[in-house]
Chain A
């Protein structure tokens, strides 16, 4: 009999003994150097959490090497963060250097990805991203290749604390956004720019016409009942690709016109300023594999314009709030085009009066 519905291993069987012993009883933390967080418990116990960036796509042979390293340095325990970094737990401060050296040598992962709010010196964390051409059927851009190209260029910010505030960069390879990048300081989103070209035969064979028509947010699809297919009103289509997600007969890929949009100014933490959705500042950048030089240039331009002008603890949107969008476009050198004016009929601002922050008074 095959077991089902038994769920994940229980978390408390996966915890380092020091973590288990001090569960819920941590007193404070200190970032003692980029990539290394010292956590001190009420009991006086200390654990050093050492963080490394990974490419997210990992070989089982690399995971085994990480296990060897964890057995040697952190008593057989390790953890991944929500942004694809891997962490080891050390009880002996003296072993940190050897660990960093060994990780670098064996798997090539850099130590970093931390920030120190206390001193107001921040590092760049890893870019969270989606599958792209490695595994997805709806992407407008690749994911891993772009992330690798950007992180090569921003490497110094990962391994050091050189930024004025937290900066979250995320990438989703289409508007379906399994990576949910819509509230990031800098977001890269794959977009299509051409309406779907219905494959009538495929629509007939594989699609449910009413639910596909209903999936269009702008009402651009009409059933053609006589021909048993779908017609596209090209004036209304905004190329979101939701119809293709619903129906394989509605492909909208055009290698010369697919590409990426860049959004900025989103945040999720409530620190200082409530959460905020990111806003489009570059409407489209073409796909330029293998290294996407134009896209990388824009990202670096935005990051460095912010980093050299923002005050301590001022995230991208806080900086923009202070200087104004006029100044943002001037300083970053980006062009404000007509595409950046919202003309999507339905926006969540219908419900703009609802609170989207956990900031309130009691």
Chain B
């Protein structure tokens, strides 16, 4: 009779099973340790399965609250995790996670991956997540005393790996595959993401802010890394001029595609017309939503005046509510060495660091302080593209210099109210 009848149920069915992955790890680790390999935690994967079975029976987690652990010189990159079943299952008393900064765009050589596997076979549970929600490679489960040697071995690999972000720090920036594989990319997402990662190494490894801060880079409005909803600082590729049309390629699609119903009628601003011979796009009315380009990738391309839109404040519900990022910079050129964007990011971080309350994400700070103040911080002018519509209430702040001189103002001055 199996020790884990409940979780065993999840080995069945057509979808790949995480339980099989845990068992496979346990069997291999135990076998290889028995053969004399230097494996520090051969029993951890098996122990995890035992704890999971208890959780499945109890319908609750058995992981205790936090605990601060890290490696020398860093304040983050490791999530401390202890079991409340440590007395029953000692192999799982410590089960700390290491976040490893993935190569931008999640591209790997097998050599890089094998290096990671070798280190984690020696110092950890042998279990990973490819990848965590933010994008890091997740090494699941090791003991406090193995964190430092594991980190050092990662750094000494022929293709070395560093830790990612955790806690109240800049989190590991992520990017879509961008120009590496996609014809829609309006800027080099991989390069910008890598440059931001390298610029903010200190802020990534040493938590110093009110809460977490995420950068994400998507090459076009399709937003394959969901930056708009998840990143405090989302950089979404966009363009200003007209969509490039290859009429011959459109005609090829027209041979079998219902262009009228699937393209023309689905354009959100009705900017497209098709007369059976020519596809016309009213550039003044196009809002660059990508639908027509997604439909006809051989015929339509984003224009030449390319850059990005920056949305600020995207976040999940904690603490005050979920936010989809707000357009703060409708268009910015993204050119190496990315000085302008780094400057805007730096000013944003400094302001938030200075003004933000404990556990206040950037959106919540802007909410409290007002968009006008944030725009001043980053030195950007207002633009109608920042709003869906102007405000619907008349409660506006006016600056002193906007007011006309008057006896009333004199009275205010006299009373020290001006």
Contact = CB atoms under 8 A, between A and B. Distances in A.
Nearest to B27: A61
Given A4-B155, A58-B21, A273-B268, 12 more contacts: A4-B74, A9-B112, A14-B107, A23-B179, A59-B21, A64-B113, A145-B7, A178-B132, A180-B315, A291-B9, A348-B321, A348-B363
A140 to B, nearest CB: 9
Contacts of A214: 357-359
A180 B162 contact: no
B52 A134 contact: yes
A210 B102 CA distance: 37
B183 A28 contact: yes
B322 A14 contact: no
Given A26-B182, A64-B114, A144 B324 contact: no
A68 B224 CA distance: 28
Contacts of B185: 24
Nearest to A250: B65
B262 A56 contact: no
Contact of B52 (A63, A133, A258, A291): A133
Interface in B9-48: 9-10, 12-22, 24-25, 28, 45, 48
B25 to A, nearest CB: 4
B129 A24 contact: no
28 contacts: A3-B156, A4-B162, A5-B201, A8-B104, A9-B161, A53-B15, A54-B16, A57-B127, A58-B21, A64-B117, A108-B20, A118-B297, A133-B63, A134-B18, A145-B7, A149-B10, A177-B317, A182-B229, A268-B229, A270-B221, A289-B55, A290-B9, A290-B56, A348-B321, A355-B326, A358-B221, A358-B238, A360-B385
A359 B181 contact: no
Given A5-B162, A63-B117, A354 B388 contact: yes
B180 interface: yes
A9 B288 contact: no
A56 B361 CA distance: 28
Contacts of B55: 133, 142, 289
Contacts of B296: 118
Interface in A1-24: 2-15, 19, 23-24
Given A268-B228, A351-B367, A217 B320 contact: yes
Interface of A: 2-15, 19, 23-24, 26-30, 39, 47, 49, 53-64, 66-68, 70-71, 76-82, 84, 86, 107-110, 117-118, 120, 128, 130-139, 142, 144-145, 148-149, 151-152, 155, 158, 172, 175-183, 211, 214-215, 217, 240, 242, 244-246, 248, 253, 255-256, 258, 266, 268-273, 275-277, 287, 289-291, 312-313, 344, 346-348, 350-362
Interface residues of B, number: 159
B108 A78 contact: yes
3 smallest CB-CB distances across A and B, nearest first, come from A152-B13, A177-B316, A248-B65
A345 B62 CA distance: 33
B160 interface: yes
Centre residue among A86, A108, A266 by max chain B CB count within 10 A: A108
Q: Is the interface of A mostly helix, strand, loop or mixed?
A: loop
B317 A240 contact: yes
Contacts of B101: 7-8
B387 A354 contact: yes
A11 B194 contact: yes
B102 A57 contact: no
B113 to A, nearest CB: 5
B319 interface: yes
B106 A81 contact: yes
